[in-house]
Amino acid sequence: MKIGRRNFLYGGLALAGAGVFGVRWSDHHARAAASAATVAAGEGGFTVWLKIAADDVVTVYSPHIDFGQGSHTGLAQMAADELDADWAHMRVEQAPAIPGFATVELAQGFLPQVMGDGARHLPKALVAMLARNFPMQLTGGSTALRFTGQMAMRAAGAAARAALVEEAAERLGVPAGELTTAASRVTHARSGRSLRYGELAEKAAARSLPENPPLKTAKDFKLIGQSVPRMDIPAKVDGSAQYGMDIHLPGMKVATIMMAPVRGGKLTGVDDKPAMAVKGVEKVVRLDDAVAVVASGYWPALKGLRALSPQFSDGGHGTLSSAAIATAQDQLRAAGKPDKKHGSGDVAAALAGGRKLEAVYRAPFVHHAMMEPFAATAHFKDGKLELWIGLQDPLATRTMAAKAAGIGFDDVTLHTLIMGGGFGRRFPDKCQIIGQVVALAKAVDGPVKLIWSREEELRHGTYRPQVSGGMAAALDGAGKLAAWRMDYVQSEDSEAETRFPYQVPATARQHFQYQSNQDDGPLRSVNSNHIGFFNECFMDEMAHTAGQDPYKFRRAHLPEGSRHAKVLDAVAEKAGWGSPLPAGHGRGIALVESFGTIVAEVVEASVGADGAPVVHKVTVAVDCGTTVNPRNAEAQIQGAVVMALSMALGEEITLDKGAVVQSNFSDYPLLKLAGAPATIAVHFLDSGAEMGGIGEPGVPPTAPALANALFAATGKRIRQLPIRDQASLRS
């Protein structure tokens, strides 16, 4: 996930001029508006994040959207554990897209990356105002549980519990210290009397809540750490869950769209008569860089669109190709003028004085490949806009829709839907569909649903960037790393999120800025996705250059007793590192830290009779601090491994004459069940460290562990993804 950290900071400094009174008033006003939107008479609202009804039902409001990651259940677990609530009475609802539900805690978590540790001491009311004005209601970056869960939901549960105890003490006429809580009841053991949360909630919520209530320690957890069933699954099974595709409104029209094949191109002309001749087609709408057809349903709209022969310019990018991008990146590195430098020590001297190895690694554009292509419904009437869509930041979506419609924020009503995939593709600033559906709504009388075809969604993605990395390292006389240098070329510097964990006397990480005509976007694990491949494959090369075991070589460069060393040891032990393998099989190992979580993986692989890789088993060790829902966390890691294998083995977006070559899953192959490993064994280390993310960190070690396993099996190095495009590993 990418956040405009610099813009967030600068905007925040400007807002800080409002002064202490303005900041506090803004915070109070936003929270009051949020509670008014969700708390009914007879209910008790505790902060904006949870409420308790008279029937004891506790509702948690999640600012994070569900697209399969299971965070709604985890957030409810964290709130319920601190509240001592009866799990049977817990519910989760999507928070409305209003400023009071901004992801303030996410901003608190990320600000130290911008401003340093001093940002941790900023008043929460100020951070809240920054998040609301940015605006920020993000789902991404593996932040839901580690930031919102830890800082908001647990605190809300603990504060509510304290208020309920105070209210019960007053009603029962006993000291609060004599009361205990469990299963949504406050009990006075000495007298045998108790009160339900539901009968205390409304009055308890009117009390002054503690701002920093004490939280439980791990030994007192009852729900955190338990594999409770996920709350979102039943609705997805019975079909009651609503995605963008599921919206049906009276009088609704359906549209589909064709954009300029070359990104940056414009629509220069189109004859709409062939489309208008198709039964059911009602209108052809011309946009700046696209043409859309509006009809009574999707199929007539698609048939009408396919009947058109629109003309587009190429925006000056008509000669661009994937090969040309690779050449340009090589030239940038050769010029030796990086935009950003990180590291320490005299790398040049260490490289010159040691046993040196150099290599170039490459990773292609990769598509997000959401199972649900974009679908959004909009209705513009009397200067008001109503919008039904699932994107990864509802507040920003509402803001952008208002701007596109030329109306105020308060004139937009947003219905936030769950998403059929995302991984970064559904951040509003990466979604052309917002402006498109608003334009169609203003051109059509009544509601209109815009659906992107699979072909359109694949050809106009916001891809993981095409990246190259020039690697160089040297060994000293004892066979240890003396120097490490990575010169990588891509659109942004990755230093803030990708940590090099090994102890090396001299290191240099140099970023060379390059931007193609593609709108690069964050993809699951963002820059750690490909930087992990570069580092861990080259680490394997250096181990073999030193004549050492890859696991032991890595281990020798990690601090004794460190979390990284323990994770590496755990995965080696669980995978049976060093034990005999069937003929033709190889094991590869990799270690990457991302999003505050350390993951090591061992892949066992071989090469089939057709020369294609076969992955037999993946063993994973994970240290994310604390695991809230182990079964869901395991599923997240397993899903990340499968997705990473798919990208490593076959996924690639290529450009020719400025346009994307691939058009559907027929020429953009995703990993099928038959190609997935029979076993993905996940092992968690509960270190008690600060909580890390879980949705993304399973991705980065997979590709290098696979490439290293194939080297162990065949003796052939893989330095470029995807693997399918390389010569048969058996040749």
Concatenate the DSSP letters of all residues of 131-169 into one string.
HHHTT-----TT-IIIIIIIIIIHHHHHHHHHHHHHHHH
Distance CA 592, CA 610 (A): 31
pLDDT (average), residues 93-113: 89
Q: Residue 16 above 70 pLDDT? A: no
Same domain, 265 and 349: no
Question: Cis bond leading into 704, ω under 30°?
Answer: no
- pLDDT single digits (tens) 521-541: 999 999 999 999 999 999 999
pLDDT (average), residues 346-364: 97
Same domain, 281 and 340: no
Q: Please name which of 610, 660, 658, 617 lies closest in space to residue 638, comparing C-alpha atoms.
A: 617
Same domain, 645 and 660: yes
Confidence of residue 15 (pLDDT cuts 50, 70, 90): very low
pLDDT, residue 28, reads 77
Q: Residue 725 above 80 pLDDT? A: no
Q: Please name which of 90, 273, 258 lies closest in space to residue 184, comparing C-alpha atoms.
A: 90
Q: Is residue 604 part of a domain?
A: yes
pLDDT (average), residues 575-596: 97
Distance CA 93, CA 53 (A): 14
pLDDT, residue 698, reads 98
- Cα of first residue to Cα of last residue in the chain, in angstroms, is 40
Q: Residue 189 above 80 pLDDT? A: yes
Concatenate the DSSP letters of all residues of 577-599 into one string.
TTS---TT-EEEEEEEEETTEEE
Query: CB 183: neighbour CB atoms within 10 A?
Result: 16
CA angle 472, 476, 479 (to 5 degrees): 95
Q: Residue 18 above 70 pLDDT? A: no
Q: Is residue 198 part of a domain?
A: yes
Domain boundary (196, 216, 236) is at 216
**Least confident window among 30-44, 130-144, 333-347, 642-656:** 130-144
Same domain, 428 and 473: no
Residue type, 562: S
Distance CA 627, CA 689 (A): 11
Distance CA 590, CA 371 (A): 29
Which secondary structure element, helix H or strand E, spans residue 257, and what is its range?
strand 253-259
pLDDT (average), residues 543-564: 98
Domain total of the chain: 3
Domain boundary (170, 201, 216) is at 216
Structure tokens at 672: 């099928």
pLDDT, residue 395, reads 96
Same domain, 209 and 82: yes
Q: Residue 723 above 90 pLDDT? A: yes
Name, in order, each residue with C-beta under 8 angstroms of 121's C-beta and a sequence gap of 6 or more.
none
pLDDT, residue 122, reads 77
Query: CB 359: neighbour CB atoms within 10 A?
Result: 16
Which secondary structure element, helix H or strand E, spans residue 286, and what is its range?
strand 281-286
Scored b (16 or more CB within 10 A) or e, 263-293 reads bbbebeebebebbeebebbbbbbebebbbbb
Same domain, 449 and 427: yes
CATH number for position 633: 3.30.365.10
Same domain, 94 and 197: yes
Three-state secondary structure call for residue 705: helix
Q: Is residue 100 part of a domain?
A: yes
Three-state secondary structure call for residue 410: helix
* Residue 382 CB-density burial (10 A; 0-12 exposed, 13-18 middle, 19+ buried): exposed
pLDDT, residue 615, reads 97
Same domain, 114 and 156: yes
E-only strand ranges, 354-466: 355-363, 375-381, 384-389, 412-416, 448-451
- What's the domain range around 11? 5-216
Q: Is residue 239 part of a domain?
A: no
Distance CA 668, CA 689 (A): 40
Q: Residue 708 above 50 pLDDT? A: yes
Concatenate the DSSP letters of all residues of 644-656 into one string.
HHHHHHT--B-EE
Give the strand pairing for 355-363 and 586-594: unpaired
Distance CA 199, CA 106 (A): 33
Residue type, 339: D
pLDDT (average), residues 196-208: 97
Q: Is residue 231 part of a domain?
A: no
Computed over every residue of the chain, the mean pLDDT equals 94
Q: Is residue 228 part of a domain?
A: no
Q: Residue 731 above 60 pLDDT? A: no
Residue type, 449: K
Same domain, 16 and 57: yes
pLDDT (average), residues 671-700: 96
pLDDT (average), residues 188-214: 96
pLDDT, residue 115, reads 67
User: What does residue 346 show for φ and ψ, rounded to 5 degrees?
Assistant: -90, 90
Domain boundary (198, 216, 234) is at 216
Same domain, 504 and 649: yes
Higher pLDDT pick, 24 / 448 = 448
- pLDDT single digits (tens) 468-505: 999 999 999 999 999 999 999 999 999 888 889 999 99
Structure tokens at 2: 């990418």
Which secondary structure element, helix H or strand E, spans residue 253, and what is its range?
strand 253-259
- pLDDT single digits (tens) 52-68: 999 999 999 999 999 89
Question: Which value, in Å, is the radius of gyration of the alpha carbons in the chain?
Answer: 27
Same domain, 560 and 421: no
- pLDDT single digits (tens) 244-300: 999 999 999 999 999 999 999 999 999 999 999 999 999 999 999 999 999 999 999
What's the Cα-to-Cα distance from 195 to each of 39, 82, 169, 189, 200, rounded to whole Å? 21, 18, 10, 12, 7
Q: Residue 29 above 80 pLDDT? A: yes
pLDDT, residue 6, reads 46
Scored b (16 or more CB within 10 A) or e, 517-527 reads bbbbbbbbbbb
Q: What is the DSSP letter of 513?
A: E
pLDDT, residue 98, reads 95
Q: Residue 2 above 90 pLDDT? A: no
pLDDT, residue 308, reads 98
Structure tokens at 469: 């990395």
Q: Is residue 235 part of a domain?
A: no
Confidence of residue 19 (pLDDT cuts 50, 70, 90): low
Same domain, 555 and 671: yes
Q: Is residue 240 part of a domain?
A: no
